Structure 1
């Protein structure tokens, strides 16, 4: 019996040579195909450049030919001048339309690239995560940008569903770097850290690294000095951990507390449809001051089936109308739960409709909203006993 050890090649016979030559020919054909494709791409690019220059050249040739060869262009009468002006006006209009078409084509390409990059940074959330129905939307204060200084993410892990909602100081495109640093750290930490304090510590370290790198890039000699503009940057963060039994635990660093939305509980329900959760004083925002040594997790009770959490940034409540009045968020949420009891998509649509009507268009600050509805159907016995217990 002949044994062939792994990694020791067998003796190549005529058939092995044939297979080797066949693979070599296939690789050569693939290389030739790729080279031919590159040549064709270069040819198409040259053709597009020639076509882009062809129309302006043709319009210029028409204008020069008319001026030099047409007898009417040599006359000084009123009619001849009108015709000459019309010819040059047509040439100028054609050139401007051609330039405009090229700029619009380039702008569409840039927007596609920017949209893809922004989609990777603040990626669309799935409709549900481990039984929690999700609806989220963001509006940037910068025109043409879909991502600003607000951030959110929902990730299902072995430790429970982890949620982050944050707001970077400032708004628009200037805050995107901080958003990327915080979200990137959160997406890694939620899987590695079994407890929320560990997640928050990693976010703090990521924020510190980002500020130091940014200060070094903007002011190489000064570093992160106390009077540096970068030293004043911070981000408010709300971390939630929603267990499989609906238990909600939170760490809040200077962010608005969420609202709890519930369906109509009847006349015996003393808590009402909308309740603003505020179980404790928040921690300082990340970047402004160091976090304390102890990070006590706040227990917010249970999110029962049929109930929902409404998370938001301060751009929602700070939106003003023409008279300077703030947006009545609680009233909008009450109306939303009365019409569509705790349906995340319906609540989101109602709030944004009323917000845009109140602000007469887009708000002046970044706005982000995240609605989490408990779509789970099974209720543990201990959970039923706590229905009447306020959060």
Structure 2
């Protein structure tokens, strides 16, 4: 309500400003013994065009042109030529102002259409996540360092497949609109491979092959291919860090990590409602594989068992922009502590965690992000069976295809 009143007040001031300017010039002309203020009437149409639009510009120009021809005071009666010249200047300013206003409105319409097309395209690339997947509550959020971009160099997706809920979180080298094509290539491959491949390792191999094809095609398009037609992709110029997860029906989380930060597990302490916040602990052990695009994948890809997500627990995936965000003093963002505070007590609501962490990130950095930041929260809302638990999910090791 207060904001609406402020907007209305500003619009009223802008609308009245040309009239106040004309009134001030007329009063000055009448009170001044020399009467040299009439030339200032030429500014009124320009003020009207800049503040409101073409109609008020034309109205202000007509009123000012008439006032310029009407002699006001003794000095005005003595210099009719100056008043005719001022009238012509007012009409010229009004014509130029109308032309600029028409062009500005056309450019604004084109900009709005371009924004609609970009928003639609970006929502297809990084489409909204379903709120629930096979008993897993899901929420994702993204902060782009590029102004006006909904998608940058970060990517995430979650799918319910016959083999469990599969999730990918990645970070493409670079950010902004230049990285969207790589994001689209990786996500497009994941959306197919996650349903087709029984082994998580084979999903990763599909993603690696899709990335290689994309980088080669882009290198040829940009003229960076080698003499034999092979793209110069082994120079480490383009790569993607990737975390591939699978949540089995019994809550076991398995993963393959290619140079990406390990996730955090949020668990509420025993005794819901006691006001104690959730505990955030990093999960994952061992050295990750190199990022995709730097080196070929090894022949064996052992799938690691990260943790078991019990009912009520949550898993938080993030890109390195979250932990690397700094404030004005150079202090890093305390992601683990903020996650515990954002989750609060049971139950853990993923969308609430996303909103609170994003708000804390913007406060910490003062709104000046240096890298894209993506967050994905998965909460296990499944209920345990009375006696027999769900069928366990076997940890599989991928084998290269022949």
TM-score range, shorter chain: 0.7 to 0.9
Unaligned runs of 5+ in 2: 1-53, 72-78, 273-277, 391-402
Q: Distance in 2 between matches of 1:379 and 1:232?
A: 50
1:250 pairs, out of 242, 250, 255, with 255
Aligned to 1:210: 214
TM-score scaled by structure 2?
A: 0.72
Q: What does residue range 271-350 of structure 1 map to in structure 2 within 5 Å?
A: 273-338=279-344, 341-350=347-356
Corresponding residue for residue 203 of structure 2: 199
C-alpha contact 2:241 2:260 (8 A) present in aligned 1 = yes
1:366 corresponds to which of 366, 372, 378: 372
In the aligned structure 2, how far is the partner of 1:145 from the partner of 1:336? Answer: 26
- Cross-structure match for 1:84: 88
Give the corresponding residue for 1:47: none
> How do residues 1-391 of structure 1 correspond to structure 2 at under 5 angstroms?
77-219=81-223, 222=226, 223-224=229-230, 231-265=236-270, 273-338=279-344, 341-378=347-384
User: Could you tell me how far apart the structure 2 residues matched to 1:229 and 1:174 are?
Assistant: 20
What is the CA–CA distance in structure 2 between the aligned matches of 1:380 and 1:357, rounded to whole Å? Answer: 45
Runs of 5+ in structure 1 lacking a partner?
A: 1-54, 385-391
Distance in 2, matches of 1:372 and 1:357, equals 24
Does 125-134 or 86-95 show the bigger shift?
A: 86-95
Instruction: Give how far 1:341 is off.
Output: 4.7
In 1, distance between residues paired with 2:313 and 2:214? Answer: 37
Q: Alignment partner of 1:77: what SS?
A: helix
1:136-170 superposed Cα distances (whole Å, 9 cap, x missing partner): 01122211111111000000011111100000011
Q: 1:83: Cα distance to partner?
A: 2.3
CA displacement, residues 289-322 of structure 1 (integer Å, 9 cap, x when unaligned): 1111110000113100000000000111111111
* Per-residue deviation, residues 2-46 of structure 1 (Å, max 9, x unmatched): xxxxxxxxxxxxxxxxxxxxxxxxxxxxxxxxxxxxxxxxxxxxx
CA RMSD of aligned residues (A): 2.8
SS at match of 1:260: strand
1:378 deviates by 2.0
**Secondary structure of the structure 1 residue equivalent to 2:141:** strand
SS of 1:330's partner is helix
Distance 1:302 1:381 in 2: 18
SS at match of 2:344: helix
